[in-house]
Chain A
């Protein structure tokens, strides 16, 4: 099944709250068929941008459109864009099923679809319980069910991984990737890169309302990785690595940090020199560090 997504275009978007500029001349676009992460620390302006995109906030300047249309001009809004904003917008005294039925009735969708959506997100057992008793994770799932109600080609989810346990995040990842594979446009925001690191293909990084970086996730992670190695014969290994023209520094925790090579090259050099190794690993991804560097200092105090 394919569901051809629509492009999202944010052009010169600015949103002021009084004298405070929450979003500052922001431009980016989001393509169908991939999962795009909208990343930035808390307070960066992600939610504000998404609310402008959904017609809930009036932009101070610029525009935010879906398939070239403002949200409010879409002939079939929730059949075009499925959105889940922060997970608190449910009446605590209403059941999950009733919440979805209200939306379905208003949009002219068969209310029986509410049950199907709840099954899809794993809420069937609690479908007729009041939302007031739901955990954050259950609310997130309900928000997702609401977003999917109109079978929309575009999905916009604000911090969907927030409150999910690792199993829930893994489930969400597969779910969103499958939707993107069908051709849909999937935009998800997060302030924790590791939550979405394995979910997103593209990233838009935001700090203090300004665009910091847009591109493929892989490009954000393009820096060289050091190799960490532990041995009972550090002097001998240093010589061997230097001979292989690799740079070596002390790691501080009894390991050597090797720059300019891969685990394969380091292992080979040790093998040739007959040095015994007790540990050999590539350093953890630079991605999280790059993300922090990009957004650090830009963080509002």
Chain B
């Protein structure tokens, strides 16, 4: 890296995102999913699910309030943020705009860095907008149930901030995946497949063979740790370690991508 500022390339990346409609569709998806999640969490908080399962924490507990406002936002948004990141890179190959991108910046790794910075900010923006949605939907349902809205709940605001950070880092992970895998469809399917199928199976399998200590290092668990400082029920990493681990996955994928894919021919 030379001393030249990354700012022009980052500005170009923002313009790339804002000048097509994809981000808008993904944001709508994120907000809708987050609001549904918040409403459902608020509606069922403290209810006995039956079948001998313990009741979830009631709306009078900070856990429940954090779950409604912050965790719902994360679980409704992160997959859209991940897709935003993946398409931010793979879309360039799909539409062959990578040619003009690399003509403007023939130092290809700089493009990847600029994309990571721009998408980190876009991810945070997604998180904040979706958070407005969960606060609205959650508060309405809590109000209907006649409980206290709980905006003063313990650690609510820091948790919201960490959820936004987690979404932002997942967007960067998306850039990492797209950097490694040029094909958009393959990259998205693989990412969804890994987070929704491989990770849970791996969690289960590792626990079964007494390798539980490994489980907390998986990306989804690392991001859960990031949002749950001081969680004592589950064996999570410290919140900041979780954040760094998740960031590490993104950087590792991007690094591999730069070494294995980005340098390859563009034709």
Contact surface of A with B, Cβ cutoff 8 Å: 48, 51, 54-58, 71-72, 74, 77-78, 83, 85, 88-95, 98-99, 101-103, 105-108, 146
Contacts and interface: CB of A to CB of B under 8 A. Distances in A.
A25 B257 CA distance: 31
B97 A90 contact: yes
B245 to A, nearest CB: 32
Given A78-B104, A105-B11, A85 B99 contact: yes
B103 A78 contact: yes
B100 interface: yes
B12 A102 contact: yes
Interface in B73-130: 91, 95-107
Nearest to B265: A57
Contact of B96 (A54, A57, A88): A88
Contacts of A72: 106-107
B19 A77 contact: no
Contact of A71 (B21, B91, B101, B106): B106
Nearest to B11: A105
A89 B15 contact: no
B16 interface: yes
B12 A106 contact: yes
Contacts, number: 80
A143 B91 CA distance: 19
Contacts of A58: 263, 265
B232 interface: no
A227 to B, nearest CB: 48
Contact of A108 (B8, B19, B22, B106): B8
Given A98-B15, A106-B11, A107-B8, A92 B107 contact: no
B265 A56 contact: yes
B152 to A, nearest CB: 44
The 8 closest A-B pairs by CB, nearest first: A106-B12, A98-B19, A72-B106, A89-B96, A105-B12, A106-B104, A93-B20, A105-B11
Nearest to A15: B265
B267 interface: yes
27 contacts: A51-B265, A56-B99, A56-B103, A56-B266, A56-B267, A57-B265, A57-B266, A58-B263, A78-B103, A83-B103, A89-B95, A89-B97, A89-B98, A89-B99, A91-B20, A92-B95, A93-B22, A94-B19, A99-B19, A102-B12, A103-B12, A103-B100, A103-B104, A106-B8, A106-B11, A106-B101, A107-B104
Contacts of A54: 103
A130 B121 CA distance: 26
Contact of B15 (A56, A85, A105): A105
B19 A102 contact: yes
A103 B98 CA distance: 11
A56 B102 contact: yes
Interface residues of B, number: 28
A55 B106 contact: yes
A103 B22 CA distance: 20
A242 B9 CA distance: 74
Given A51-B267, A83-B103, A90 B15 contact: no
A58 B101 CA distance: 17
B106 A106 contact: no
A55 B101 CA distance: 12
Nearest to A98: B19
Nearest to B16: A102
A48 B21 CA distance: 33
B8 A77 contact: no
A92 B19 CA distance: 11
A107 B21 CA distance: 24
A205 to B, nearest CB: 23
Contacts of A89: 95-100
Nearest to B8: A108
Given A77-B103, A93-B21, A93-B22, 17 more contacts: A51-B265, A51-B266, A55-B102, A55-B106, A56-B102, A58-B263, A77-B104, A78-B103, A78-B104, A91-B95, A92-B95, A102-B100, A105-B8, A105-B15, A106-B8, A107-B8, A108-B8
Contacts of A93: 20-22
Contacts of A102: 12, 15-16, 19, 100
A89 B266 CA distance: 12
